C-alpha cells in the first residue's frame, strides 16, 4: 500500500508539473476573456488600481469620486464614445512593488495606476506605460509649475501628479525639548533613549542617515551605503523599534516620542493626539510624488484620459485632497478657501498670539508654506549637478543586493543577550541529562530482567 | 486484501493525495529548485554557501524557541494532568477554555498583546506610569510564543494521559506509590509520546514564526522567519528558498532525533 501511495504521488506530481510547464509556455498567447471584464454590451469597465485609502470614496459624507465619474461620463461624454456607459472597477495595493508585480505578470489590464516617482521611472524604462501628451488634457493647466516636467517624466508623456508629500520628524512636545529640534540629529540623541522609532525598511531607514550625513540618497558608491548603515548601528541601542504602520499606534498612544514620517500622516496622527508636532530637518528630506498613469495594457486609454482629466476638476480634487490629507499639486486645490478652512479645522488648527500672528502652523500651512526645493536647499546645494537629488531613484541591482546584506548586518548587530544563551543551554543540558538518565535506567532494568530470566 | 476494497481505498484517498501533491509536495519541489539555482535558473550552490552569515539568526531563533517550548512544557504538563484528573463534565469545560483563545486568529491575538503591553498601553499606563518597556525585548517574544502555542502542548499530553488505563493508577497505588511517585514512575513515562508530540508542535512553529517577533520584538532583531519573509519581499527568492531549505533540514533532523525517544509501540506520531 505504501509503495502504491508513493507511486501515485509521483505520478500526480509529474502530471501537475507538466501542466504547469504547458501553462507557462502558452503564457504569451491570448489572455483575453480572463476573470476581469473589460466590456459587457454597452458597458465599458474602467479598472482603477490605487493605494489603499487614497481616494475620496463616499465614506463619512465625502464625495464618492468613482460614482461621480460614472455619472458625469454617462451624462456628458457617452455620446462622444459611441454611447458606451462606464463602470469603474476599483482595487487597491499596499506598496509600489506589489502594484509593479501585478502589472508585470499581466493578469489584469488596468486602465489607471498611481505609482510613486521612482517606480514611474522604472516602468517607463521597461516600457510599461502608455505614452501621450499629458499637457493636452484640458485640466492639466491647473498643475503647479514645479510639478511639470519632473525628473522621472521630463517630457510630460506618461504621468499627471496626484499628490506629493515630504518626510520630516514627528515628535511629542511633552517629551522633546525645543532646543533639540531642527536636525536629523534628534534621531541620534541619547537623551531620548528608548523613545525613538525608525523605519523598518532599508531604503527609508538608510535615507534618514544619509540626509543627516549629507550623502546622496541615490548613491552608486557602496562606501556611502556602508557609512549610512554604520550610522544606523550607532542608533540601534537608542531605538524602541523598527516599525512600519505600528508608528500610528505608537505615536498616538505616546508609547514613543520621536519618529521620522510623512507630513500627511502626521496630520492624521495629530488629529488623535494633540501633543504631537512636526518639523522638516534642516539637512534635507525625501519628497515623493504619486502620479496617475495609464498602463500600456489598458483596453480603454481614451476613457482613462477622461478619468484623469476628471480627477483634476476642482470639486473632485478638493474632495480627494481633504480625504487623503496629503499635499496636492493642483492649483485649484491650493487656492481653494473651502479646502484651507477644512484642513485647518478637521486636521490641525493654527494658533495665534494676541496680535494675530500665527505661532504654530495649521495643516494647510504645514503642507504648502514650504516648498520641497526650499526645505531641501541645503541638501540640493551639495549635489548641484543633479535634478531633484532628494527624491529616491530606482537603484541598481548591485546596490539592491548590497543594501539587503547591510540591512541583515544591522538586524544581527548587537541582537543577543547572555541570559538567552545561559537559559537555553541549561534547558538543553537538562533534557540531555534526562535522556541519559532514562537510557541508563532502561539498561539497568533490562539487565535485571535478563538476570531473572537466566535464573 | 480484496481488489474492490483497494479501489475504494484509492478513491477515498484521492482528494487528499491530490491536495498533498498540489500544496505540499509541489511547493517543496519549488523550494528546493529555487534553493539550488541562481537568478537565471542555472544550477548554483552560492545560495547555500552564503548561509553561514545567518548563523546568529538561526542561533537566536533556536534558542528563543527552545526556551519557549520548555516554559510551555513546564506550564502545560501540570495543566494537562489537572484537566485529565478532573470530573468528565468539568473536563469538557476546561478543554473548551483552553481552546477558547484559538477561536481568535493568531495574528489578532499577537497584535492585541502588543497593544496591551506597549508602554502606552493599558498595563503600563495604569500600573507603571508609562515607564514599563516590554515590547522590543526578547522576553516578550518568548511570552508571545508561549501564549500563542500553549494549547498545542497541553492537548496532546492531555489526550495521552486520559488514555492511560485507570488500572495503572490503581496498580501503582497498590504497590505502594504515593501520588508523586505514581506521577514520576508511571504517568510520566506513559505520557512520553504526548510530551514529544507536544514539544514538536510548539517547537516547530516557534522556530519559524515571524509575526510574533516582528510585532512584539519591535523589529530590533530578526528571527529566521523574518529573514525568509524579507528575502521574498525584496525579491531575492533564491536566498530565501535556501534558508527555508536548510531550516526544513534542521527541523527534520531534530524530529528524527526526537523520534528516537518516542515509544516504539505508539509508533509514528511524528514525521
Residues above pLDDT 70, as percent of chain A: 91
* A291: β partners: A161
Q: Is residue A444 assigned to a domain?
A: no
Mean pLDDT over A186-198 rounds to: 93
CA nearest A227: which of A406, A396, A412?
A: A406
Cell readout for A240 is 524602541
Q: How confident is the model at residue A29 (pLDDT cuts 50, 70, 90)?
A: very low
Q: Is residue B81 assigned to a domain?
A: yes
Mapping DSSP to helix (H, G, I), strand (E, B) and coil, where does residue A53 land? coil
- The domain containing residue A234 runs over which residues? 164-288+348-412
**Contact call for B70 and A412, based on CB within 8 A:** no
Answer whether A164's CB lies under 8 Å from A146's CB. no
**Contact call for A420 and B60, based on CB within 8 A:** yes
A and B: number of Cβ contacts within 8 A: 114
Q: Is residue A271 assigned to a domain?
A: yes
Domain limit, last residue, from A270, A305, A334: A334
Strands A112-113 and A43-51, how do they pair?
parallel
The continuous run of DSSP H or E covering A65 comes out as helix A65-72
> Shortest Cα distance from B136 to chain A (angstroms)?
6
Strands A85-93 and A43-51, how do they pair?
parallel
Q: Are residues A312 and A179 in the same domain?
A: no
**Contact call for A194 and B236, based on CB within 8 A:** no
- How much is the pLDDT for B63? 94
List of chain A residues whose C-beta atoms are within 8 Å of the C-beta of residue B213: none
- How much is the pLDDT for A17? 65
List of chain B residues whose C-beta atoms are within 8 Å of the C-beta of residue A249: 115, 118
**Contact call for A243 and B62, based on CB within 8 A:** no
- A394 CB within 8 Å of a chain B CB: no
- How much is the pLDDT for A28? 39
Pairwise CA distance, residues A198 & B225, whole Å:
21
Q: Using CA coordinates, name the residue in chain B closest to A98.
A: B233
Mean pLDDT over A254-281 rounds to: 92
Domain limit, last residue, from A301, A334, A367: A334
Q: Using CA coordinates, name the residue in chain A closest to B227.
A: A408
> Shortest Cα distance from B154 to chain A (angstroms)?
19
Domain holding B137: CATH number? 1.10.3720.10
pLDDT, tens digit, 9 for 90 and up, residues A336-375: 999 999 999 989 999 898 888 888 889 999 999 888 888 9
Domain holding A152: CATH number? 3.40.190.10
Q: Which residues contact A86 (CB under 8 A, 6 or more apart)?
A: A43, A44, A45, A46, A69, A70, A73, A74, A78, A303
Pairwise CA distance, residues A399 & A222, whole Å:
7
Write the CA distances from B44 to A27, B48, B180, integer angstroms. Answer: 27, 9, 57
- A246 CB within 8 Å of a chain B CB: yes
Tally of domains in chain B: 1
Q: Are residues A270 and A386 in the same domain?
A: yes
- How much is the pLDDT for A261? 94
- How much is the pLDDT for A245? 80
In this structure, chain A runs to a length of 455
CA nearest A307: which of A54, A45, A95?
A: A45
Q: Are residues A156 and A300 in the same domain?
A: yes
Q: Are residues A229 and A98 in the same domain?
A: no
pLDDT, tens digit, 9 for 90 and up, residues A72-112: 999 999 888 888 999 999 999 888 888 988 898 777 889 99
**Contact call for A241 and B220, based on CB within 8 A:** yes
**Contact call for A9 and B21, based on CB within 8 A:** yes
Q: Are residues A282 and A406 in the same domain?
A: yes
Pairwise CA distance, residues B212 & B223, whole Å:
10
Neighbours of A21 (CB within 10 A): 9
Q: How confident is the model at residue A2 (pLDDT cuts 50, 70, 90)?
A: low
Domain limit, last residue, from A334, A368, A397: A334
Q: Is residue B21 assigned to a domain?
A: no
Q: Are residues A149 and A295 in the same domain?
A: yes
Q: Is residue B90 assigned to a domain?
A: yes
Q: Give the best residue of A101, A200, A253 to mutate against chain B (max B CB count within 10 A).
A: A253
- How much is the pLDDT for B265? 55
Q: Assign 3-state DSSP to chain B and report helix, strand, coil percentages, each to 5.
A: 80, 0, 20
Pairwise CA distance, residues A265 & A254, whole Å:
16
The series of mean pLDDT values per 10 residues for chain B, 271 residues long, is: 72 90 93 90 87 91 95 96 92 92 90 85 79 84 94 94 90 90 88 90 92 87 89 81 93 84 54 41
Q: Are residues A216 and A295 in the same domain?
A: no
Residue A33 has pLDDT above 60, yes or no: no
Q: Is the pTM of this model over 0.95?
A: no
Q: Which of the 8 DSSP states describes residue A455?
A: -
Output the DSSP codes for B146-183. HHHHHHHHHHHHHHHHHHS-HHHHHHHHHTT--HHHHI
Q: Are residues A218 and A357 in the same domain?
A: yes
Q: Using CA coordinates, name the residue in chain A closest to B122.
A: A253
**Contact call for B118 and A435, based on CB within 8 A:** no
Q: Are residues A241 and A296 in the same domain?
A: no
- How much is the pLDDT for B9? 85
Q: Give the best residue of B53, B55, B123, B234 to mutate against chain A (max A CB count within 10 A).
A: B234
CA nearest A390: which of A379, A404, A382?
A: A379
Answer whether B91's CB lies under 8 Å from B261's CB. no
Neighbours of A306 (CB within 10 A): 21
Mean pLDDT over A153-173 rounds to: 95
Q: Is residue A372 assigned to a domain?
A: yes
Tally of domains in chain A: 2
Q: Is residue A454 assigned to a domain?
A: no
- The domain containing residue B186 runs over which residues? 54-261
Q: Is residue B114 assigned to a domain?
A: yes
Q: Are residues A222 and A275 in the same domain?
A: yes
Q: Is residue B49 assigned to a domain?
A: no
Q: Is residue A424 assigned to a domain?
A: no
Distance from the first to the final alpha carbon of chain A = 45
Q: How confident is the model at residue A14 (pLDDT cuts 50, 70, 90)?
A: low
Q: Are residues A281 and A298 in the same domain?
A: no
Q: Is residue B187 assigned to a domain?
A: yes
> Shortest Cα distance from B9 to chain A (angstroms)?
10
List of chain B residues whose C-beta atoms are within 8 Å of the C-beta of residue A428: 66
**Contact call for B60 and A415, based on CB within 8 A:** yes
> Shortest Cα distance from B254 to chain A (angstroms)?
13
Positive or negative CA dihedral for B21, B24, B29, B34? positive
Q: Give the best residue of A9, A195, A403, A424 to mutate against chain B (max B CB count within 10 A).
A: A424
What's the burial of B41, exposed, middle or buried (CB within 10 Å: 0-12/13-18/19+)?
exposed
- Please name the residue that has the C-alpha cell 543551554: A425
Q: Is residue A400 assigned to a domain?
A: yes
Q: Which of the 8 DSSP states describes residue A116?
A: B
Q: Are residues A76 and A124 in the same domain?
A: yes
Amino acid at each position: 500500500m505504501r509503495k502504491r501511495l508513493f507511486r501515485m504521488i509521483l505520478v500526480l506530481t509529474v502530471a501537475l508539473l507538466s501542466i504547469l510547464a504547458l501553462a507557462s509556455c502558452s503564457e504569451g498567447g491570448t489572455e483575453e476573456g480572463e476573470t476581469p471584464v473589460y466590456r459587457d454590451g454597452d458597458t465599458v469597465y474602467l479598472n482603477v488600481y490605487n493605494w489603499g485609502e487614497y481616494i475620496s470614496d463616499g465614506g463619512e459624507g465625502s464625495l464618492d469620486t468613482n460614482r461621480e465619474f460614472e455619472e458625469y461620463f454617462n451624462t456628458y461624454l457617452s455620446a462622444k464614445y459611441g454611447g458606451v456607459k462606464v463602470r469603474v472597477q476599483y482595487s487597491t495595493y499596499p506598496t509600489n512593488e506589489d502594484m509593479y508585480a501585478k502589472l508585470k505578470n499581466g493578469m489584469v489590464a488596468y486602465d489607471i495606476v498611481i505609482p510613486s516617482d521612482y517606480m514611474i521611472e522604472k516602468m517607463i524604462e521597461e516600457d510599461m506605460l502608455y505614452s501621450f501628451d499629458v499637457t493636452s488634457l484640458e485640466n492639466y493647466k491647473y498643475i503647479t509649475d514645479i510639478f511639470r516636467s519632473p525628473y522621472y517624466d521630463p517630457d510630460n508623456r506618461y504621468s499627471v501628479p496626484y499628490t506629493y508629500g515630504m518626510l520630516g520628524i514627528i515628535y511629542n512636545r511633552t517629551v522633546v525639548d525645543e532646543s533639540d529640534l531642527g536636525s536629523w540629529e534628534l534621531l541620534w540623541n541619547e537623551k531620548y533613549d528608548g523613545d525613538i522609532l525608525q523605519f523598518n525598511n532599508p531604503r527609508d531607514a538608510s535615507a534618514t542617515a544619509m540626509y543627516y550625513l549629507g550623502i546622496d540618497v541615490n548613491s552608486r558608491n557602496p562606501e556611502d551605503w556602508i557609512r549610512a548603515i554604520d550610522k544606523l548601528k550607532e542608533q540601534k541601542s537608542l531605538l524602541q523599534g523598527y516599525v512600519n504602520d505600528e508608528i500610528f499606534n505608537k505615536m498616538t498612544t505616546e508609547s514613543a516620542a520621536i519618529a521620522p514620517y510623512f507630513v500627511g500622516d502626521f496630520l492624521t496622527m495629530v488629529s488623535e493626539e494633540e501633543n504631537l508636532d512636526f518639523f522638516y530637518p534642516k539637512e534635507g528630506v525625501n519628497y515623493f510624488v504619486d502620479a496617475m498613469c495609464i498602463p500600456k495594457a489598458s483596453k480603454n486609454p481614451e476613457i482613462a484620459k477622461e478619468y484623469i482629466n476628471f480627477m483634476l476638476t476642482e470639486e473632485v480634487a478638493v474632495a480627494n485632497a481633504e480625504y487623503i490629507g496629503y499635499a496636492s499639486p493642483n492649483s485649484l486645490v491650493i487656492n481653494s478657501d473651502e479646502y484651507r478652512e477644512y484642513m485647518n479645522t478637521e486636521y490641525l488648527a493654527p494658533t495665534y498670539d494676541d496680535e494675530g500672528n500665527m505661532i504654530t502652523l495649521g495643516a494647510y500651512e504645514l503642507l504648502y508654506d514650504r516648498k520641497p526645493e526650499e526645505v531641501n536647499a541645503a541638501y540640493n546645494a551639495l549635489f548641484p549637478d543633479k535634478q531633484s537629488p532628494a527624491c529616491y531613484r530606482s537603484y541598481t541591482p548591485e546596490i539592491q543586493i548590497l543594501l539587503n546584506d547591510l540591512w541583515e548586518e544591522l538586524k544581527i548587530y548587537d541582537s543577543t543577550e547572555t541570559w538567552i544563551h545561559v537559559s537555553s543551554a541549561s534547558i538543553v543540558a537538562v533534557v540531555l541529562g534526562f535522556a541519559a538518565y532514562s537510557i541508563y535506567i532502561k539498561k539497568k532494568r533490562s539487565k535485571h530482567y535478563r538476570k531473572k530470566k537466566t535464573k | 486484501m480484496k481488489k474492490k476494497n483497494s479501489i475504494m481505498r484509492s478513491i477515498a484517498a484521492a482528494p487528499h493525495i491530490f491536495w498533498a501533491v498540489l500544496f505540499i509536495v509541489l511547493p517543496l519541489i519549488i523550494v528546493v529548485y529555487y534553493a539550488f539555482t541562481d537568478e537565471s535558473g542555472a544550477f548554483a550552490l552560492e545560495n547555500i554557501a552564503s548561509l553561514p552569515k545567518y548563523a546568529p539568526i538561526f542561533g537566536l531563533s533556536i534558542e528563543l524557541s527552545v526556551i519557549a517550548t520548555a516554559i510551555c512544557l513546564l506550564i502545560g504538563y501540570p495543566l494537562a494532568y489537572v484537566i485529565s484528573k478532573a470530573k468528565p463534565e468539568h473536563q469538557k469545560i476546561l478543554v473548551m477554555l483552553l481552546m477558547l483563545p484559538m477561536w481568535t486568529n493568531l495574528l489578532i491575538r499577537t497584535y492585541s498583546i502588543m497593544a496591551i503591553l506597549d508602554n502606552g498601553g493599558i498595563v503600563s499606563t495604569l500600573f507603571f506610569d508609562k515607564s514599563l518597556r516590554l515590547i522590543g525585548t526578547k522576553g516578550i517574544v518568548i511570552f508571545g510564543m508561549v501564549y500563542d502555542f500553549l494549547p498545542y502542548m497541553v492537548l496532546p499530553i492531555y489526550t495521552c494521559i486520559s488514555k492511560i488505563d485507570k488500572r495503572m493508577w490503581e496498580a501503582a497505588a497498590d504497590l505502594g506509590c504515593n501520588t508523586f511517585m505514581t506521577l514520576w514512575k508511571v504517568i510520566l513515562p506513559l505520557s512520553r509520546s504526548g510530551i514529544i508530540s507536544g514539544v514538536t508542535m510548539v517547537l516547530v512553529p516557534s522556530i519559524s514564526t515571524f509575526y510574533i517577533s516582528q510585532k512584539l520584538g519591535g523589529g530590533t532583531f530578526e528571527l529566521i522567519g523574518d529573514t525568509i519573509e524579507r528575502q521574498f519581499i525584496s525579491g531575492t527568492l533564491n536566498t530565501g528558498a535556501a534558508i527555508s531549505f536548510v531550516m526544513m533540514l534542521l527541523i527534520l533532523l531534530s524530529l528524527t532525533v526526537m523520534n528516537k525517544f518516542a515509544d516504539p509501540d505508539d509508533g509514528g506520531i511524528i514525521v
